Amino acid sequence: MTFRAKHLLGIEHLAPDEITTLLDLADQYVDLNRRDVKHSDTLAGLTQINMFFENSTRTQASFEIAGKRLGADVMNMAMQASSVKKGETLIDTALTLNAMHPDLLVVRHPHSGAVDLLAQKVNCAVLNAGDGRHEHPTQALLDALTIRRAKERLHRLSIAICGDIAHSRVARSNILLLGKMENRVRLIGPPTLMPSGMEEFGVEVFEDMREGLKDVDVVMMLRLQKERMDGGFIPSEREYYHRYGLDPEKLSHAKSDAIIMHPGPMNRGVEIDGVLADDINRSVIQEQVEMGVAVRMAAMELLVRTRREAAQEQGVMV
């Protein structure tokens, strides 16, 4: 088993063998989660705090279920970023929480790099549940697990990521992960939603969706935030759907067995056709949600193992 990371801040810091280790363990948790009794005592006696400085229902619920199934004591803190004086409070809150000796801290924050900053100030393992436009590592890992189970491999695949790449932490983490596992990554989107210098990451950039989707194995759609639709980045919702929304015709350019993914929540009729999203032969969107819990269980267990091993080396029991 190979997993050395002390925190899960981003895919950037993970090596390919660590990713494989994590996915292998997550596979086992998928089995556990499908049983009647879904419980393990791996994290019994440990405290997990979920700090969400940005609203989230799905990710927070997923982390909460993951922690509870592993026997951890889970606490949710809704940090309304708008009501606190940002930043200052971030460090202060981190120090305050640290004094309560949590073992796992799950953090989502609207600013890129904020979770890295917080991780420097606490003694426990920190999991990044999404920071600004930077990274969302557990999303990329659950996407990877979904792909690996559907395609029976996670290398030499052609994968298209479509939509608002510029504002997407999901896209960044996926580009890094899929690149590390030696896949061909294509980015598709209007140029106003494409960050600069992307070609330097070893990906191909397409403005034409049909061209970009040609012969891909996986179509990964991204959510288009409502606030980007006001004419600032794209002219209108309907023009966006016409050019970049996934419909059966555009999908026909991909391989016939290509799978459709979406990190959710979906805007049906904006980035994806509603019928396609529900097509159980093509869409793996529900599997993604299922894999999310398993991947988060695996991530937390591995981080705790790393800490326990480090403590044992120092002759201290945790």
Q: Judged by CB, which is closer to another protein: 91, or 318?
A: 91
Q: Judged by CB, which is closer to another protein: 196, or 314?
A: 196
- Rounded CA-CA distance 119/8 in Å is 10
Any idea of the CA torsion for 165, 170, 175, 181, to the nearest 10 degrees?
Answer: -160
| Residue ranges in 174-233 that form contacts with another protein under rule CB under 8 A | 195-198, 200-201
Among 7, 108, 109, 180, binds another protein (CB under 8 A): 109
Nearest to 78 by CA among 57, 60, 53: 53
Shortest distance in whole angstroms from residue 215 CB to another protein:
26
Contact 59, 130 (CB under 8 A): yes
Question: Under the criterion CB under 8 A, does residue 143 sit at the interface with another protein?
Answer: no
Q: Which residues are annotated as a binding site for L-aspartate?
A: 86, 169, 223
Q: Considering only 125-133, 241-249, 250-258, 260-268, which stretch makes contact with another protein by CB under 8 A?
A: 125-133
Among 112, 204, 205, 255, binds another protein (CB under 8 A): 112
Question: Under the criterion CB under 8 A, does residue 135 sit at the interface with another protein?
Answer: yes
Q: Judged by CB, which is closer to another protein: 35, or 85?
A: 85
- Give the tokens for residue 57: 């229902």
Q: Judged by CB, which is closer to another protein: 23, or 166?
A: 166
Q: In sequence order, which ranges of the chain are alpha helices (DSSP H)?
A: 16-33, 58-69, 88-98, 114-119, 137-151, 169-180, 209-213, 237-244, 248-251, 274-278, 285-313
Kindly report the CA angle at 39 between 37 and 41, in degrees rounded to 5? 150
Half-sphere exposure of 183 (CA within 13 A, CB side): 26
| Residue ranges in 27-46 that form contacts with another protein under rule CB under 8 A | none
- Give the tokens for residue 23: 């996915």
Shortest distance in whole angstroms from residue 78 CB to another protein:
19
At 90, is the secondary structure helix, strand, or coil? helix
Q: Judged by CB, which is closer to another protein: 148, or 172?
A: 172
Q: Considering only 65-73, 128-136, 266-274, 285-293, which stretch makes contact with another protein by CB under 8 A?
A: 128-136
Binding site for another protein (CB under 8 A): 12, 86-88, 90-91, 109, 111-114, 116-117, 131-135, 169, 172, 195-198, 200-201
